[in-house]
Amino acid sequence: MRTSVTLLLALAAGAGLAHEGVENPAVMARMGLMKDIGAATGTLGEMVKGEVAFDAGRAAAARAALVEAADRVPALFEARESDPKSEARPAVWEDWDGFVVRAEAMQAATRGLETGSAAALRASFADLGASCRACHEDYRLKD
Ligand code: HEC
């Protein structure tokens, strides 16, 4: 658990420079969506790790951002857009149904996030982290 949160935070923090030089606006848009997902996940992960104090209001806002962003994933990835800087594998489009299954798993995990207390957040956060990894493993070059 601790390790996966650390990895997630590294993922969220590392997102900034990846956009440098991206020319295709459709690729930029989907990377930007993932970057926002990384940022909101990082906000929650810091609370789960105890790096920042639990704050129910901030946690609820991050959850809401994640629910909304997760719903947009299929639409932003559906067109087969490419860019030399993209980290998406061809598998996204060659196995589109599998990609959508992973996106739906993340949608369910974002809805399952409980932000009423630090303990509830910690318990529900693991599924979210697992949903990122499950997709990145097969559909993203890094990770
Ligand atoms: C359904 C598949 C899928 C899920 C679920 C998913 N991702 Fe991604 N993610 C991708 C793909 C594909 C890319 C590469 C996009 C590209 O470079 O064109 C990516 C890229 C990223 C990036 C790099 C963005 C950038 O700046 O280039 C971050 C950060 C990221 N994901 C975070 C997350 C986090 C955190 C989660 C879980 C809360 C998550 N992702 C869940 C498929 C997914």
- Per-residue model confidence as pLDDT tens digits over 3-53: 567 766 666 655 555 677 899 999 999 999 999 999 999 999 999 999 999
The pair of three-digit structure tokens given for residue 51, joined into one six-digit string: 């790096």
The pair of three-digit structure tokens given for residue 109, joined into one six-digit string: 């995990």
pTM listed for this prediction: 0.91
Find the Cα–Cα–Cα–Cα dihedral 4, 126, 31, 51, rounded to 10°: -60
Q: Is 97 annotated as a binding residue?
A: no
Q: Is 135 annotated as a binding residue?
A: yes
CA–CA dist 3, 129 (Å, integer): 11
Residue 136, pLDDT above cutoff 80: yes
The domain that contains 91 carries what CATH number?
1.20.120.10
What is the number of domains present in the chain? 1
Specify the pLDDT at position 2: 52
Specify the pLDDT at position 20: 76
Name the residue of 93, 140, 143 to mutate for ligand 1: max ligand atoms within 8 A of Cβ.
140
Contacts of 64 by beta carbon, 8 Å cutoff, 6+ apart: none
User: Does 40 contact ligand 1 (Cβ within 6 A)?
Assistant: no
22 CA distance to ligand 1 centroid (A)? 15
CA–CA dist 1, 7 (Å, integer): 10
88 CA distance to ligand 1 centroid (A)? 9
12 CA distance to ligand 1 centroid (A)? 10
The three-class DSSP label of residue 65 is: helix
CA–CA dist 74, 78 (Å, integer): 6
Q: Is 39 annotated as a binding residue?
A: no
Specify the pLDDT at position 107: 98
The atom of ligand 1 lying closest to the CA of 100 is 1
φ/ψ (deg, to 5) at 88: -80, 135
Residue 78, pLDDT above cutoff 50: yes
102 CA distance to ligand 1 centroid (A)? 11
Specify the pLDDT at position 13: 55
Q: Residue 12's closest CA among 42, 45, 56? A: 42
Q: Residue 56, Cβ neighbours under 10 Å: how many?
A: 14
> Domain residues for 64?
2-139
* CB distance 44 to 105 below 8 Å: no
Q: Which amino acid is at 56?
A: A
Q: What is the pLDDT of residues 47-76, one digit of tens each?
A: 999 999 999 999 999 999 999 999 999 999
Per cent of the chain over pLDDT 90 is: 84
Specify the pLDDT at position 5: 73
